[in-house]
Amino acid sequence: MTKQASALILEDEPIVAFALEDMLFELGFEEVRLATTLEAAFDYLEARAPDVAVLDVNIRGQRSYGFAEKLSGSGVPFLFATGYGDAEHPEALRATPTLTKPYNQDELKAVLATLTDPQ
Amino acid sequence: MISTVHPEDKPALIAAIEDAIERRGPYAHQYRVRRTDGSYYWIEANGRVDAGPDGRAVSFPGVLLDIQERRRTETALRASEEFNRRILASSADCIKVFDLDGRLESMSEGGLSLMEVDDFTSIRGAYWPDFWQGDEKAKVVGAIDKARRGSTGRFRGFATTMKGSPRWWDVLVTPINDAEGRPEKLLSVSRDVTTMIEAEASLRETTRRLDAILNNTREAVFLMDHKQHCVYANAAAEKLTGYRFSELEGRPLHDVVHHKKPDGSHYLIEECPIDRAFPERAQMSDEELFVAPDGSFYPVAFTASPLVDDEGNPIGTVLEARDITEEKARDDELQEQTRTLETLNRTGAAIAAELDLERMVQTVTDAGVDLTGAQFGAFFYSMLHEASESFKLYTLSGANRAQFERFGMPRATPVFKPTFDGDGAVRSDDILVDPRYGKNAPHFGMPKGHLPVRSYLAVPVTSRSGKVIGGLLFGHSEPGIFNERHEKLMLGVAGQAAIAFDNANLYREAQLEIEQRRKAEEQQTLLINELNHRVKNTLAIVQSLAQQTFKTEVPTDVARGAFGARLNALAAAHDLLTRRNWEKASLSEIILSSVAATAGAASGRITCEGPDVILLPQTAVSLAMAIHELSTNAIKYGALSNDTGAVTVVWQISSGQGQPRILLEWKEVGGPPVAPPARKGFGARMIERGLAADLSGEVALDFAPTGLRCFIDAPLPEA
């Protein structure tokens, strides 16, 4: 976990984002950047690629799939955390690990583990 | 002397002489003697044998007479009598000779055969009238009388032969006069006319029958000769043509009754199918138009048959003809009825199967035009246009829409109102002279240039509920087109149309309901999904709030109070958004509602001022939570913690360069002196980072000793 020093959160709900931020710190991340808009997320990625990213799917009415693909292209592992329990991701992103809100720290940890330690 | 006698006559002469000697008396004998030139001539020897006292012949005194001429005359006479006998014998008639009393003396051979007489002697001397029966007897007696008086008696009578065969006789009785010219005998020539009499009777019977047929048949019969001149016309023919036979006789019938065509042009006899029967030797049957004496036409059905002689040569034409005016009218009527029924049937089937209102009404309108013979028809809805007070045109047939719409729609005038009030049919043979017509401004009748209507028929289309759906209107530029039958037909069609209307409306309503239900279900699915999403998001928020409120460094009871208050604030924001259908909320509403939820009675000390700004739901929640944190802080530590402090929230829109921005200030005054907190908790994090991120702007907290201030500078949300 210590290798994953940097995390990027894309979440437009600040209260939820803060909780996630706290969890990530608890899980040992040294840096957590929080984007509440897609625009900010792209800016952060442009500035510096994180080691891992947690994406809400619906960001102010827009899907975050475009950004997700950008992350894929950049080789950044990521997971989705969404309130849409049974929503289907697009074909290319269907295999992306997805947490359904609400989730707890243990669930987050388990999913993050699959990202960094693929079986 | 004997030596000159003709050898043939010698034996007879010798015999005569010896006889005379034997008898001793006169004798006469004729024989031929040879002259010196070798020819023979007839002589008659007349003499007497004188006998002596001993009885012996002693002398032959006598003369020799030359009888050559006498002999010749006698031979001629005998030949003539023989000839006459043969004439009589050769006659096929029964020739008889009677005495003046009518007693039969002789009968010719032909007569014996005709009368079937085997033995003439059995009837010789019979009284002639006895051969006849009954009244015939008197005719015979009369004829005998006449002949006896020197003239000719003649009669025709019936009598049987001797063997009982029935015969008709034509009898002539004439006198045979003696040398002095007085009737001496009677001659009767009876001719067998049985065959003729029978033929005549047969002919009479045939003629009688033909006359009976020809004079009583209703078929007109004409006979034309080889020149196609009329030689016969029966009573029916006179009645048909309106001409007496005397007016037709000897004239070509074609010239009298068939000389022109309906267009007035001359009808050449060469083109005439009736007259073709003669040259073509074929029977022709067809229908033609004959010309009446007044020049009018009437339809006839005819059959023209060639009349041929025994060798098959045409010698004339027989024409039968019949006035078919009534038949044609009946046929036309029947065809019309059939067509009407077919149209009704077709229309009924079509509109019963039609659920599309416009197509159904079009079908009905077209059928109406078809059934009534109207030039144009239209269906108008009974609902009135509010502005024009006219009925609404729905479908048209026989005219295009522009022709109607140019003149405006019918209004509730005396002509149209009964139809749209459902008061039955309105029918006018000529609407221009109808008392209901032309009573209304501005046109007082049809507008100038309107489709020309004289004949008018309108029927209401009334729903089962009694509501008048509309009216079917039909027009024609000629007067007197629509009759009672049309009216009844259209009332029937209108009835069908009303049912179809009701059906189509029911169908449409059902379709609408199905569609609405389907949409509602879709909507419901969406709502459930959205609700699920929101609940989960809300749970995520609640979970996050809990996670951030219940920290190890915060006492549990304090944290529990803060968590409850935060949930209240969140609930208040949700309440407000729910009232606004989660679409948008105004800035002032959010602030007031959050303050009210948090500050309770003290909320009156918080004043708001600023123009109306619309926020998105998510921003509204963030703002509400931020205001809650500010209010809580004010109540606990700030201007609302004593009895004198107050809070003002003022915002304004700056419309400088670029996007307009909102500048908001939370300002506390009159509270206890303020010191910056030792540790920044959830409130500061929510305000400084959360709200700032949500607004994409900057939020600053200023813990000024005179009172807390919070500045927000963010782009004006594009709500």
Burial tier of B365 (Cβ tally within 10 Å: 0-12, 13-18, 19+):
buried
Q: Read off the amino acid at residue B506.
A: L
Mean pLDDT of B679-683: 85
Rg of chain A taking only CA atoms, in angstroms: 13
Residue B478: strand, helix, or coil = coil
The predicted pLDDT at position A86 comes to 61
Give the chain A residue whose CA is nearest to the CA of B691. Answer: A14
- Cα B691 to Cα B701: distance, rounded to the nearest angstrom: 12
- Cα B529 to Cα B513: distance, rounded to the nearest angstrom: 24
The answer to whether residues B469 and B498 touch, using CB atoms and an 8 Å cutoff, is yes
- Rounded to 5 degrees, what angle do the CA atoms B192, B194, B198 make? 160
Please give the span between the terminal C-alpha atoms of chain A, in angstroms, as a whole number.
17
Task: Inform me whether the pLDDT recorded for A6 exceeds 90.
Answer: yes
How much of chain B exceeds pLDDT 70, in percent?
95
Query: How many other CB atoms are found less than 10 A from the CB of residue B641?
Result: 15
At B490, which helix (H) or strand (E)? helix B484-549
Cβ neighbours for B562, distance < 8 A, ≥ 6 positions apart: B549, B554, B632, B682
Task: Express each pLDDT in B283-335 by its tens digit.
Answer: 889 999 999 999 899 999 999 988 888 888 888 889 999 999 998 899 888 98
Task: Express each pLDDT in B496-536 by its tens digit.
Answer: 888 888 888 888 888 899 999 999 999 998 888 888 888 88
What is residue B151's DSSP assignment?
S
Cβ neighbours for B230, distance < 8 A, ≥ 6 positions apart: B222, B223, B224, B245, B248, B249, B250, B251, B252, B253, B256
Q: Residue B610's closest CA among B591, B638, B623, B582?
A: B591
pLDDT band at B447 (very low <50, low <70, confident <90, very high): low
Give the chain A residue whose CA is nearest to the CA of B534. Answer: A83
What pTM did the predictor assign? 0.48
Quote the tokens at residue A50: 């994180």
Task: Express each pLDDT in B103-147 by its tens digit.
Answer: 999 998 888 888 999 988 999 999 999 999 888 999 999 999 999
Quote the tokens at residue A75: 């080789």
B chain contacts of residue A15, beta-carbon cutoff 8 Å: 541, 544-545, 548, 622, 625, 686, 690
DSSP per position, A43-112: HHHHH---SEEEE-SEETTEESHHHHHHHHHHT--EEEEES-TTPPPPGGGTTS-EEESS--HHHHHHHH
Task: Express each pLDDT in B394-432 by its tens digit.
Answer: 777 877 767 666 555 677 778 888 888 888 889 999 888
Rg of chain B taking only CA atoms, in angstroms: 72
Backbone angles phi, psi at B167, to 5 degrees: -145, 145
Dihedral over alpha carbons B702, B705, B708, B710 (to 10 degrees) = -20
Query: How many other CB atoms are found less than 10 A from the CB of residue B696?
Result: 15
In terms of C-beta distances under 8 Å and separation of at least 24 residues, what long-range contacts does B230-234 make, across chains too? Answer: B230/B256, B231/B316
The predicted pLDDT at position B448 comes to 66
What is residue B224's DSSP assignment?
E
The answer to whether residues B681 and B658 touch, using CB atoms and an 8 Å cutoff, is no
At B140, which helix (H) or strand (E)? helix B135-148
Q: Residue A102's closest CA among A37, A23, A36, A47?
A: A23
Dihedral over alpha carbons B395, B400, B401, B405 (to 10 degrees) = -130
Taking the CA of residue A81 as centre, how many other CA atoms within 13 Å lie in the half-sphere pointing to its CB?
26
Task: Express each pLDDT in A78-118 by its tens digit.
Answer: 999 988 766 678 888 888 999 988 899 999 999 999 887 65
The answer to whether residues B647 and B706 touch, using CB atoms and an 8 Å cutoff, is no
Task: Inform me whether the pLDDT recorded for B148 exceeds 80.
Answer: yes
Distances in Å between the alpha carbon of B544 and those of A15, A112, B560, B623? 6, 19, 14, 17
pLDDT band at A119 (very low <50, low <70, confident <90, very high): very low
Give the chain A residue whose CA is nearest to the CA of B545. Answer: A15
A15·B541 Cβ contact <8 A: yes
Backbone angles phi, psi at B479, to 5 degrees: -75, 160
Residue B387: strand, helix, or coil = coil
Strands B606-609 and B646-654: parallel
- Cα B594 to Cα B569: distance, rounded to the nearest angstrom: 6
Residue given tokens 């269907």 in the structure block = A94
Could you state, in order of their start, the residue ranges of all structural domains in chain A?
A: 6-116
Q: Chain-wide mean pLDDT for chain B?
A: 86
A19·B694 Cβ contact <8 A: no
Residue B543: which of A12, A40, A102 has the nearest Cβ? A102
The predicted pLDDT at position A2 comes to 47
Quote the tokens at residue A92: 């290319």
B693·A34 Cβ contact <8 A: yes
Q: Read off the amino acid at residue B220.
A: A
Q: How many CB pairs under 8 A join A and B?
A: 77
The predicted pLDDT at position B387 comes to 55
Task: Inform me whether the pLDDT recorded for B582 exceeds 70.
Answer: yes
B618·A36 Cβ contact <8 A: no
Distances in Å between the alpha carbon of A42 and those of A50, A68, A81, B652? 12, 10, 18, 31
- Cα B55 to Cα B569: distance, rounded to the nearest angstrom: 217
- Cα B437 to Cα B413: distance, rounded to the nearest angstrom: 8
The answer to whether residues B490 and B481 touch, using CB atoms and an 8 Å cutoff, is no
B537·A16 Cβ contact <8 A: yes
Task: Express each pLDDT in A47-60 by its tens digit.
Answer: 999 999 999 998 88
Helices marked H in B186-280: 194-216, 235-241, 245-248, 253-257, 273-280
Burial tier of B711 (Cβ tally within 10 Å: 0-12, 13-18, 19+):
middle
- Cα B474 to Cα B323: distance, rounded to the nearest angstrom: 36
B686·A14 Cβ contact <8 A: yes
A chain contacts of residue B616, beta-carbon cutoff 8 Å: 60
The predicted pLDDT at position B84 comes to 81
The answer to whether residues B249 and B241 touch, using CB atoms and an 8 Å cutoff, is no
A17·B690 Cβ contact <8 A: yes
Mean pLDDT of B190-213: 91
- Rounded to 5 degrees, what angle do the CA atoms B249, B251, B256 make? 105
Query: How many other CB atoms are found less than 10 A from the CB of residue B673?
Result: 8
The answer to whether residues A114 and A97 touch, using CB atoms and an 8 Å cutoff, is yes
- Cα B295 to Cα B281: distance, rounded to the nearest angstrom: 31
For CA atoms B157, B162, B164, B166, the dihedral sign is negative
Top pLDDT among A1 and B4 is at: B4
Report the residue of B526, B537, B686 to disrupt the A interface, i.e. the one with the largest count of A CBs within 10 Å: B537
Fold of the domain spanning A6-116: Rossmann fold (3.40.50)
Strands B220-225 and B230-233: antiparallel
A60·B616 Cβ contact <8 A: yes
The answer to whether residues B495 and B472 touch, using CB atoms and an 8 Å cutoff, is no
Burial tier of B684 (Cβ tally within 10 Å: 0-12, 13-18, 19+):
middle
Backbone angles phi, psi at B602, to 5 degrees: -75, -5
Residue given tokens 């289309």 in the structure block = B461
A14·B534 Cβ contact <8 A: no
- Cα A105 to Cα A25: distance, rounded to the nearest angstrom: 11
Q: Residue B399's closest CA among B450, B469, B459?
A: B450
Quote the tokens at residue A79: 């997971």
Q: Residue B99's closest CA among B39, B144, B45?
A: B144
- Cα B585 to Cα B582: distance, rounded to the nearest angstrom: 8
The predicted pLDDT at position B405 comes to 64
Task: Inform me whether the pLDDT recorded for B445 exceeds 80.
Answer: no
Quote the tokens at residue B70: 């006498």
Mean pLDDT of B667-681: 89
Q: Residue B377's closest CA among B497, B522, B474?
A: B474
How much of chain B exceeds pLDDT 90, in percent?
34
Quote the tokens at residue B717: 């949300």
Residue given tokens 């607004």 in the structure block = B695
Q: ipTM for the complex? A: 0.90
Report the residue of B547, B574, B583 to disrupt the A interface, i.e. the one with the largest count of A CBs within 10 Å: B547
